[in-house]
């Protein structure tokens, strides 16, 4: 079972298996339980799915809440637990809730949607492995994942396509824990523009122009210059 590169690189992908256990609940059905620790907290992730058609969007929505038998088997083997029990508990652990449509309100027309999932930090390996599988199953769709930790000290943005992390940015050097983005650039911008622009854009073709514009804007701020021409996409700031 391949674990996708996580949005929180300081964690060991395999550490999750040390804190997960399966047990029989006091009342059926049998389910998952976590050995919580004082240091554990929650991760909040928004997933924007940019699909190629309303039908594909519908299938992705269904698949997000249907963990594969392969994932269940992999976990069951590592935990020495029956596959049936693991498979029964996974859907409750991997619950991606639809938040809103991003284009049309009508599901019959919409092909872009936002989902949300909240999970304990110790479960991150399972969540990202599941996303990897879904992305591989729908290679034309673009997954934009923004995650924030419950401790309010870091966040990340990740672009996934065909099961591969295309771009990723990690914002973890904040001077405080107020939950304010410090250096989390909007790396989704060029991919959203490609998708919504309606032009003949190939996937990833706008990344370099966007990056050049960001570098130019940062250089201008560093030099404390004023805009060279009206209408340019430059950011300025003055103390006065």
pLDDT in tens, 74-104: 888 888 889 998 898 888 889 999 999 998 8
Percent of the chain's residues with pLDDT above 90 = 48
Residue 5 carries which DSSP code? P
How would residue 183 be classed by pLDDT, with cut points 50, 70 and 90? confident
Q: How far apart are CA 166 and CA 83, in angstroms?
A: 32
198 with 187: CB under 8 angstroms? no
User: To the nearest whole number, what is the mean pLDDT of the chain?
Assistant: 78
User: pTM for the complete prediction?
Assistant: 0.77
Residue 8 lies in a domain: no
- 68: domain CATH number is 3.30.70.1270
Residue scoring higher pLDDT (56 or 148): 56
| Cross-strand pairs, 143 | 49, 160
At 71, is the secondary structure helix, strand, or coil?
Answer: helix
- Kindly report the number of other CB atoms within 10 A of residue 48's CB atom: 20
Residue 161 lies in a domain: yes
Residue 203 carries which DSSP code? T
The rounded radius of gyration (Å) of the Cα atoms in the chain is: 20
Residue 91 lies in a domain: yes
Single out the residue of 3, 139, 16, 133 nearest to residue 65, CA to CA.
Answer: 133
234 with 222: CB under 8 angstroms? no
The beta strand positions in 18-153, using DSSP E, are: 20-23, 31-34, 42-50, 97-101, 112-120, 142-149
Whole-number pLDDT of residue 26: 28
Q: How far apart are CA 158 and CA 225, in angstroms?
A: 32
Residue 1 lies in a domain: no
Residue 196 lies in a domain: yes
Residue 134 lies in a domain: yes
Q: How far apart are CA 65 and CA 98, in angstroms?
A: 10
Number of domains in the chain: 1
Residue 176 lies in a domain: yes
Residue 185 lies in a domain: yes
Q: Which domain holds residue 116?
A: 13-223
142 with 50: CB under 8 angstroms? yes
- Kindly report the number of other CB atoms within 10 A of residue 60's CB atom: 22
Whole-number pLDDT of residue 176: 67
Tokens of 123: 């479960």
């Amino acid at each position: 079972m391949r674990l996708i590169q996580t949005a929180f690189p300081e964690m060991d992908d395999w550490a999750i298996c040390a804190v997960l256990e399966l047990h029989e609940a006091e009342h059926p059905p049998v389910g998952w339980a976590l050995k919580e620790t004082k240091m554990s907290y929650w991760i909040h992730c928004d997933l924007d799915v940019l699909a190629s058609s309303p039908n594909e969007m519908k299938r992705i929505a269904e698949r997000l809440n249907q963990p594969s038998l392969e994932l269940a088997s992999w976990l069951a083997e590592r935990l020495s637990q029956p596959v049936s029990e693991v498979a029964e508990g996974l859907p409750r652990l991997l619950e991606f809730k639809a938040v809103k449509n991003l284009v049309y309100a009508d599901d019959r027309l919409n092909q872009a949607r936002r989902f949300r999932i909240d999970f304990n930090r110790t479960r991150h390996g399972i969540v990202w492995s599941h996303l990897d599988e879904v992305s591989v199953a729908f290679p034309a769709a673009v997954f934009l994942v923004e995650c924030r930790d419950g401790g309010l000290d870091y966040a990340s943005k990740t672009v996934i396509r065909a099961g591969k992390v295309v771009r990723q940015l990690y914002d973890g050097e904040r001077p405080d824990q107020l939950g304010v983005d410090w250096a989390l650039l909007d790396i989704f911008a060029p991919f959203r523009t490609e998708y919504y622009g309606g032009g003949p854009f190939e996937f990833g073709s706008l990344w370099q122009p966007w990056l050049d514009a960001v570098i130019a804007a940062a250089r201008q701020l560093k030099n404390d210059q004023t805009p060279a021409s009206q209408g340019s996409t430059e950011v300025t700031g003055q103390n006065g």
